[in-house]
Chain A
Amino acid sequence: MAHIPRISETEWEIMRIVWAKAPVTAADIIADLIKLDPTWHPVTAKTLLNRLVRKGALGFEQQGRAYLYKPLVDERSCVNAVSSSFLDRVFGGSLSMMVAHFVENRKLNAKQVKELRKAMDGK
């Protein structure tokens, strides 16, 4: 299984933009970050971009003088990696017994989701 890098809260913001718009330049990423949250500083964003490249979450290719960034890991794998902490593994969904969910925490596989979709379509 490919190594899924640990991504921090702030790095996650950058990854979402790259997943949505890849390949994308650093300037476009910074512009989108500032649109969402004006307190972002370009220097901070560049530091985090370099960190993500070093972690193996982002790759880049040079086009003329610009660098275009693209993700090296898919979003779903990262979501699963974040939520499969040690406590999740031991207690499963029972850690959330004090909340009221829309859908109970269940990690179903694609085959099970397909079966539920067939039931919804009445097949």
Chain B
Amino acid sequence: MEASVIAEFFGHLLKASWQASALAVVVWLVIHALGDHLDPRWRCRLWMLVIVRLAWPVSLPSPVSLFNWVGTPAVLDPPAAEPSWTGTEFLIWTRILENPWVQGVWAMMMFLLVGRLLLSSTWAWWVQRTARPLDSWQTWWILQTCKEASGCTTPLAILESRKVQSPCVLGIFRPRLVLPRGLIHDLDSEELRLVFLHELAHLNRRDLVLNWLLAAVEIIHWFNPVAWLVTRQLRADREEDCDARALESRPESGQVYGGVILKLLDRVAVPDSSVAPVLSSRVLGGEESEIQPLLHRIHAIRRFRPGSRCRVVGFCSWLAVALIGLTDAEPVRRGDLGMDPLGESEIAFRFGAGRSPSKGPAPG
């Protein structure tokens, strides 16, 4: 019984993973087909559909579901004595999961990823603990005007820390805005305003809660590279969304905004000849891939025009993808699949053709 429960759990997990992967392909196609007609806000919402699919494997059947055409539909009327997996699939799963190497790798990956999450939370707590309150009423005043402009009512303290290299917000329950030590001397009031509008956009979007959801999805679906690609793309698109929200109230400040990003990167740039000590995307894709997300962001800032994209296009595409992607295939009856609901073939094999076990001996 325990083995069947585990096999069933992993069955649902794999189903969620492959369905989300198929949905990710659809989302990618929609985003590339619509191009600049889709603003980053709707791109994030489309990627969130994939995250929902990864996080919640149960869904209602629908005739319009994508999975009516992709994958194997569920079967109605399984025999009561059997689990919802057929005998062959159950055996395959239990064999795979019984393998000590598979169990070891699975446990190790879960341990590493959960450990990474705990370390990140500890680091965030440590930054808050060791940061100093910022003693600058001018900076505080700029933050208050930005909060009014962005409609953010969350109480927010400003701190300074040497442990961060970029302004950031952290703390789900008592958020704090942490600035790198000395940054307020390097940025003028307009630049600080843009930074604050970006960070307040993160708060308005509830991105600190989203971070936890994305981390959970990455842990549970660690084996699925599509899950990692989707979370990475979602993070990149949400930065562009926050840039757009910041520029909405100050559309003439695009050049200044891009300049702030470059100023921050310049502050921590390493010498050209240095070897990167970190296990970052340098290992995966070289110097060019490292700056691709930033290049994309800078191009988006340069091209930003308020109100230039049609919200109807974003909403309709999101709704269509949600309807086909968040629903499940309609189950089919065993008879329709050529299956044998009453076990007639087994009865014929065991008791002879034309007889049932309840009848008497065959005539003749």
Contact = CB atoms under 8 A, between A and B. Distances in A.
A91 B116 contact: yes
A117 B262 contact: yes
A99 B120 CA distance: 9
Given A9-B162, A108-B291, A98 B268 contact: no
Interface residues of B, number: 62
A14 to B, nearest CB: 14
Contacts of A102: 166-168, 195, 198-199, 260-261, 264
Contacts of A65: none
B80 interface: no
Contacts of A98: 117, 120-121, 123-124, 170, 208, 211-212, 215
Contact of A89 (B255, B262, B264, B277): B277
B166 A80 contact: no
Contacts of B195: 102
A64 interface: no
Contacts of B239: 104
Given A106-B294, A112-B291, A101 B124 contact: no
Q: Is the interface of B mostly helix, strand, loop or mixed?
A: helix
Interface in B105-132: 116-117, 119-121, 123-124, 127
Interface in A75-123: 76, 79-80, 82-84, 87-113, 115-117, 119-120, 122
A119 B124 CA distance: 33
B299 A109 contact: no
A99 B170 contact: yes
Contacts of A9: 162
Residue of A76, A110, A112 ringed by the most chain B CB atoms within 10 A: A112
B270 A80 contact: yes
A60 interface: no
A67 interface: no
A88 B162 CA distance: 14
A46 interface: no
Interface in B159-192: 162-170, 178, 181-182
B259 interface: yes
A68 B271 CA distance: 30
A82 B265 CA distance: 16
B248 interface: no
B123 A112 contact: no
B331 interface: no
Residue of B167, B168, B170, B239 ringed by the most chain A CB atoms within 10 A: B168
B291 A84 contact: no
Contacts of A108: 265, 269-270, 290-291
B267 interface: yes
B298 A120 contact: yes
A42 B227 CA distance: 57
A26 to B, nearest CB: 22
B82 interface: no
B123 A96 contact: yes
B279 interface: yes
B290 A112 contact: yes
Given A96-B168, A98-B211, A106 B123 contact: no
Contact of A103 (B166, B207, B255): B166
A90 B115 CA distance: 13
B76 interface: no
Contacts of A88: 277-278
Contact of A107 (B182, B261, B278, B279): B278
A92 B202 CA distance: 22
A12 B132 CA distance: 14
Given A82-B162, A83-B268, A89-B278, A95 B119 contact: yes
Interface of B: 116-117, 119-121, 123-124, 127, 162-170, 178, 181-182, 195, 198-199, 202-203, 207-208, 211-212, 215, 239, 255, 258-262, 264-272, 274, 276-280, 287, 290-291, 293-295, 298-299, 301-302
Given A96-B123, A107-B278, A109-B270, 15 more contacts: A79-B267, A83-B268, A91-B278, A96-B120, A98-B124, A100-B169, A103-B264, A109-B272, A115-B295, A116-B291, A116-B295, A116-B298, A117-B262, A119-B295, A120-B302
19 contacts: A76-B267, A79-B267, A82-B162, A91-B279, A92-B280, A94-B116, A94-B120, A98-B117, A99-B127, A99-B164, A99-B208, A100-B169, A101-B168, A107-B268, A108-B291, A109-B270, A109-B272, A111-B272, A122-B302
